[in-house]
Structure 1
Amino acid sequence: MAHLTKWGIMVQQLKSTAFVRDLLKDPKTRDATDITHQVVAVSSSSSKDRADQFITELNIPSPCTAYGSYEDLVADANVDVIYIATPHSHHYQNAMLALEAGKHVLCEKAFTVNAAQAKILVETARKKGLFLMEAVWTRYFPLSIQVRDLIKQGAIGEVYRVIADTSFSMDAESAFGVENRMVNLDLAGGCLLDLGIYSLTWIFQTLYHTLPKDLRKPPTVTSQITPYHLTGADEATTMLLSFPTSTPSNGANVKYSQGVAMTSMRVANDPDEEGTAGPPIRIQGDKGEIQVFKVAFQPTSYKIIPKKGFGEVKEVKFEFPAQGRGMYWEADEVARCLRDGKLESETMPLEESIVIMEVMDEVRRQGGLIYPASIESTEYPLEL
């Protein structure tokens, strides 16, 4: 019999909608027969009516209870795990609320505002024996898994450099103004935590996660931030990460690798949205490279380009079953971990989430990007 996981949803429209729609798709359409999902409760921080509206709009099957507060949601004994997709600024407080209530947690990226908050979440989850995971959906795509496996198998030799870009060109002033979460410091706005995390995801899953645990070492960081003139949030950030190891074998002759992670809201990595500009991700080894296409967070194909004399170019394309977004794969991982009694995912380990938060802390320190004290705080509970 398939293992059933019962979800409670903290509603934030865009992410919550996509995630729940994927949850409602039949797992069999993606060849998952060992697990299944049910949305049993939804809460809006603004009103019960908003939660009811969400349930109606997404046609969530009964029984599904609507709540007008997150406190009521985490108190529901029928809920196994809470999905948190609130603004970055609120992740720490919301996740602590769920953990303190004894609920397992899947919390959207960026995990928290800073590494100090992330460490406390991890300590709390472990102390209480609860599952906790950062919802970096891209890591669970079959494409991402295949790329990591190719690297570990030495398909392009020793990997020494990865370039990753997650950028979208727009008129920020008219699109975001000063209140939108993308630029609002009170909501931990800016490119880094919202988009740059995907560039960092590709750097880490190819240059860090592909190594055995005892060889994974944090990088040194050099970075440059361009502030958005209306609020001070970052509108463009470029990061150079230098790892004291290469991958997959931590090469005997040269032990280093570099990652270049970029993000911007003024220029696009795919200007015509037709792929003409080339891959947003390039993973470069001494025997060739792997190029990943479309967008960093939702790639659709990759290409292996061997060094001359080492084979033929090969392209592999992927589809999203049942016309999903691809968020169901991370939900399936949560379900399997809960079924198996695991407190974290091996694909997105809590230690790695902390290291990535430490990298972003350092990038913000170098760029002088500071958020309001209340959302940087590790105090709990704290009303925001």
Structure 2
Amino acid sequence: MPYVCRWGILATGGIAESFAKDLLVDPSTRSVTKIRHTITAAASSSGASRARKFLEDLGVADSASSYGSYEELAQDPNVDIIYVATPHSHHFQNVMLCLEAGRNVLCEKAFTVNAAQTRVLIDKAREKNLFLMEAVWTRYFPLSEYLTDTILNGTIGSVQRVIADLSVPTDPDVANSESLSRIEDPKTAGGALLELGVYPINWCFQAIYNVIPADIRSPPSVKAVIKKYPSGVDETTSMILVFPRPSEYGGDAHAFATCSITPGSRWRETRAPQPSVRILGTKGELELYHPSFRPARTRLMTENGDIVEKTWPHPGPGKGSNWYNWYRDERLAEGEARGMAWQADEAATALSTDQKESSKQSLEESLVIMQVMDEVRRQGDLVYSEELESTAYPLQL
């Protein structure tokens, strides 16, 4: 019998809806047979009626509880794990609430506002013997397994450089007013780095840091420049990361990660799509095509002249199902999943085998990435309010 993972959804915005819709798709569509998912509760800070409407839209209102506070959700004994889908400005407080209540957690990225908060969450999860994972959904794509295998089997040789970008324009023609407010607002820890930069940074880590043995990994050095938006958040951020490695692993590797909320990579409007992630090795190159938050195409080029192109669909109910998933202004093709269930499969598998963190991205790696973003912010003089940066709990934000 498959292990049935009972989920509670904390917050009911767009990302929560997209995740929940994917979560309820039959796992066999993506060749997963040992895990099944069910939603047993949801909570909205706007009230229980909003949570119930969220569950009704998913078709599970009759079998799931709806709550008007996150505290009630955290106390529900019929929940195995809580998916935290609030803005990252509130992650620390929300995750602490769940951990203190004895609940396992999958938390959206960026994990927290700063590394100190991430450290406290990790320590609390270990103190309580609970599962904790950052929802870096791209890390769990089949495409990502292919990326890792391509590097580990030596197809492109030793990785020497990674170039990664995610730039999404936030003008009114492209994004809705709600996202504009959150992304540009320092009161919600807005800006390009924490909203978008987590993607290119993670691709750099996955291609360089994650593929060598844990006992020889070292955090990268960081050089960064930030251009400020009128509101005070970062509009454009550019980073050079130098990963130290022993000579037998190719020596130091360089990574260039960029993100912006104004000059966007308009992949939908580009007639000849360009890669948003390039992984360059001594024997070849692997390219991931726009957008880097959900790449669906790769191109592998090797020194002997071979070129291998692949597409990476996210299976859902399929054509003819009248089933759609979307996020903000992006509606996917009929029957196509967004790809958010792969990370849920990872979390559920860990719970079924009593593991306390992901097998593909450790909590230590999430912490190091937050430390990198701290250093980027320090060099760019990007500081948020004392309340948002605080490790005090509980705080009313």
TM-score by length of 1: 0.95
Q: Indicate yes or no: 2:7 matched with 1:7.
A: yes
- Structure 1 residues 1-384: aligned runs within 5 Å: 1-60=1-60, 62-171=62-171, 180-229=181-230, 231-245=231-245, 249-251=248-250, 255-270=251-266, 272-274=268-270, 276-307=272-303, 310-322=304-316, 323-384=336-397
In structure 2, distance between residues paired with 1:204 and 1:273: 29
| 8 A contact 1:165–1:281 mirrored in 2 | yes
5+ residue gaps, structure 1, are none
Q: Deviations over 1:238-264 (max 9, x none)?
A: 1100111279x513xxx1100100101
In structure 2, distance between residues paired with 1:378 and 1:318: 40
In structure 1, distance between residues paired with 2:310 and 2:17: 29
Q: Deviations over 1:334-382 (max 9, x none)?
A: 0100000000012110000000000000000111110110010000011
| 2:219 aligned partner, one-letter code | P
Q: Deviations over 1:161-199 (max 9, x none)?
A: 000010123437995599711011111101101110000
In structure 2, distance between residues paired with 1:276 and 1:2: 43
- Between 333-342 and 274-283, the greater mean CA deviation after superposition: 274-283
| 1:88 aligned partner, one-letter code | H
Task: Indicate the RMSD between aligned Cα atoms, in angstroms.
Answer: 1.7
| 8 A contact 2:273–2:290 mirrored in 1 | no
| 2:388 aligned partner, one-letter code | I
| 8 A contact 2:166–2:197 mirrored in 1 | yes
1:72, distance to aligned residue in structure 2 (A): 0.4
- Between 22-31 and 261-270, the greater mean CA deviation after superposition: 261-270
1:14, distance to aligned residue in structure 2 (A): 1.2
In structure 2, distance between residues paired with 1:246 and 1:170: 41
In structure 1, distance between residues paired with 2:65 and 2:223: 48
In structure 2, distance between residues paired with 1:32 and 1:76: 27
In structure 2, distance between residues paired with 1:21 and 1:150: 31
Q: Deviations over 1:317-350 (max 9, x none)?
A: 1111011111100000001000000000121100
1:11, distance to aligned residue in structure 2 (A): 1.5
In structure 2, distance between residues paired with 1:367 and 1:183: 16
| 1:373 aligned partner, one-letter code | E
In structure 2, distance between residues paired with 1:347 and 1:174: 33
| 1:149 aligned partner, one-letter code | D
1:292, distance to aligned residue in structure 2 (A): 0.7
Compared CA separation, residues 78 and 294, structure 1 to 2 (3 A): same
Q: Deviations over 1:289-332 (max 9, x none)?
A: 0011121111101111112xx24111111111011111100000
| 2:112 aligned partner, one-letter code | T
- SS of corresponding position for 1:237: strand
- Between 276-285 and 352-361, the greater mean CA deviation after superposition: 276-285
Q: Deviations over 1:130-170 (max 9, x none)?
A: 00000000000000111111101111111110000101234
| 8 A contact 1:275–1:293 mirrored in 2 | no
| 8 A contact 2:12–2:51 mirrored in 1 | no
- SS of corresponding position for 2:166: strand
- SS of corresponding position for 2:274: coil
Q: Deviations over 1:263-305 (max 9, x none)?
A: 0122223455446251000000111100111211111011111
Count the aligned residue pairs: 377
| 2:362 aligned partner, one-letter code | P
